[in-house]
Amino acid sequence: MTTIDPASPCETRNPERNVDALQLALQDNVATLLHAIEAGSTCVVAAPDGPRTLKAIESIPIHHKIALEPIATGEPLRKYGEIIGEARRDIAVGAHVHIHNLISRRAR
């Protein structure tokens, strides 16, 4: 069980460090972009266990999500350490995660 700690997403950040995206919880397989990113560019992700780097395989708008690991069709997507839906198709690392490949599990 994960509770949302209001402090953690913000306090993982160091303004001096060049961070492109935020991973809010250890279990998350997506991160939220702090600014738009171009296809092929390197994305520095601030995570609870430290920074990590991956390559964006497509252009992604500001505040949208980037996949941190490969996710197979039907597998849960996690943000805030919680399930936000499931993959409607296979998702590659560095891909844009949004309504084209992520679907809610609720009210259906």
Partner 1 sequence: MGRRTFEGYVRPDGRSGVRNQLLILSVGHLTGPSARRIARAIPGSRLVAMPYGSSLIGADRALQMRAIVGMASHPNVGAVLMIGADGPKLKLIDQAIRASGQSLVTLCLDDHGHDALTLSDRGLREGARLLREISRQRRQSVPAASLLLGVECGRSDPSSGIVANPLIGRVVDRLVDEGGRAVFGETMEWLGAEHLLRLRGRTTAVGDALAAAVLRRERLAIESGLDLLGNNPNPTNVAAGLSTIEEKSLGSIAKSGSRPIESLVGIGEAIDGPGLHAMDAPSFSPESLTGFVASGAQLMLFSTGVGNSYVSALAPTIKLSANPEACQSLREQLDFDASAVTLGRTTPDEATERLLDLCMEIASGSLTWGEVLDEGDEVLSRLGEAL
Contact residues for partner 1, defined by CB under 8 A:
1, 3-4, 6-7, 9-11, 13-15, 19, 22, 24, 32, 34, 61-65, 79-80, 82-85, 97-99, 102-108
CA atoms 87, 101, 91, 35: torsion sign: negative
Of 31 and 54, which has the nearer Cβ to partner 1? Answer: 31
Q: Determine the Cα–Cα distance for residues 90 and 53; give it in Å rounded to an integer.
A: 21
Q: Determine the Cα–Cα distance for residues 49 and 28; give it in Å rounded to an integer.
A: 12
If residue 9 lies in a helix (H) or strand (E), which one and from where to where?
Answer: helix 8-11
Q: How far is the CB of 108 from partner 1 (least distance, A)?
A: 7
Q: How far is the CB of 51 from partner 1 (least distance, A)?
A: 13
Of 11 and 38, which has the nearer Cβ to partner 1? Answer: 11
Q: How far is the CB of 54 from partner 1 (least distance, A)?
A: 18
> Which residue in 23, 98, 22, 86 sits closest to 60, CA to CA?
98
